[in-house]
Amino acid sequence: MAAEKPRNGLTYASAGVDINEKDSFTESLESTMRRTFGPRVIPNPGGFAGLFRLDYKKGLFSRNYKDPVLVACCDGVGTKVKLAAEMGVFNTVGIDLVAMNVNDLIVQGAEPLIFLDYIAVPRVDKKMLAALVEGVAEGCRQSGCALLGGETANMPDVYAPGDFDLAGFCVGVVELKRAINPTRVKPGDVVLGLASAGIHSNGYSLVRKVVKHAGLDLGKVYEELSEAEKAPRGQRGKGAKKRRGGGAARTLGEVLLTPTRIYAGNIVKLQRNYRVKNVISGMAHITGSGLADNLVRSIPKGCDAVIDRSSWPVPPVFTFLQEQGNIDDEEMKRVFNLGIGYCVIVRKAFAESIKEQLEKLGEAVYVIGEIVKGKGVVREK
């Protein structure tokens, strides 16, 4: 009945939360965020929320939406955070976080504008948090959006030492009449597949299970993985360049932590080139549940997409994991992107020129299938 009281007074710090430490860190993040700000961000130091001007009529460019539609999505990077924690490498998963969100957003025809991140940690580790936010800011620069805010949640008890979680949130805008929907896809359209940079950010619970069960060494260079360097050219960002540039063989851990490719910049550019002509009929971001189950979301009931799986090379990381984990073919297709990270469905007459444009922008592009009359499914040739 009579509850025993603690002899010394309790404090928030004794409960694992140091407000002062968190505040000073939050301030130090602001310069990282500011580097992602364009002229549309309204400075709001100490504010309760970030401010972003939708229309912008002066200066370098002019934008004015007639009937703006806000496009918003939310995603995390799954248990890729566990791999980052195990390796103690925190500057790449932030890029993944932005990628997972902006690649979803551009499917709707939108231009990404604003990004916000949620980082949950068991305690404030400034170096780790700075690296995480640096990655998020790099992803924002790659995709042309402003890192307008974020939350660092100090959660002793929920996260084990060394563990953490990431969630991201992106808002973009598209003119109402240009919002893309699946009903534009027609028989005869061509499906272009854009190469992925590797596993991206899905299926890492299985990846880590394979590593564990097959007794793989994250620090080891496996010869079977060396061809992974044939990843798409031109991914921007210092981190990515350094990793791919020298041709130095990468360890398994480095290959597995390769950041998700960000298609936003190139897809937004492509769409600007076709402001008037209606040649892009649909798009799909290939994430968890693989090519078929994501592409099908962009196809109307009266059409099928017929995919030729021999039309693109499966990156060695997938064959390596399949072999090491003795994973069934169908399971591989259901869990991983297997080399195609993004699909663009286009009118046949423009397929070649769009492929060339995307290649000039740095994408590796394959003609992977076509749209035929059907029942709204994705099937193999």
Find the binding residues for its own copies in span 18-37 (CB under 8 A).
19, 23
Q: State which of positions 331-370 bind its own copies (CB under 8 A).
A: 331, 334-335
Q: State which of positions 265-324 bind its own copies (CB under 8 A).
A: 284-285, 288-289, 297, 324
Structure tokens at 141: 């620069």
How many CB atoms within 10 Å of residue 202? 22
Pairing of strands 111-121, 146-154: parallel
Give the separation between CA 328 and CA 286, rounded to whole angstroms.
Answer: 20
| Among 24, 34, 183, 214, contact with its own copies (rule: CB under 8 A) | 214
| Among 126, 213, 242, 269, contact with its own copies (rule: CB under 8 A) | 213
**Look-up of token digits 């619970």:** 205
Residue span binding its own copies (CB under 8 A) among the ranges 269-277, 325-333, 356-364, 367-375: 325-333
Residue span binding its own copies (CB under 8 A) among the ranges 7-15, 128-136, 225-233, 238-246: 7-15
Give whole-number Cα distances, 292 to 195, 298, 334, in Å.
15, 10, 8
| Among 94, 139, 149, 193, contact with its own copies (rule: CB under 8 A) | 149
Q: State which of positions 106-135 bind its own copies (CB under 8 A).
A: 107-108, 110, 113-114, 116-118, 120
Give the separation between CA 122 and CA 161, rounded to whole angstroms.
Answer: 6
Q: Which of 277, 280, 282, 281 is nearest to 297 (CA)?
A: 282
Q: How does DSSP classify residue 311?
A: S
Q: Which of 158, 165, 29, 36 is nearest to 97 (CA)?
A: 165
Contact call for residue 205 and its own copies (CB under 8 A) = yes
In whole angstroms, how close is the CB of 236 to its own copies at the nearest point?
23
Residue span binding its own copies (CB under 8 A) among the ranges 145-153, 184-192, 225-233, 237-245: 145-153
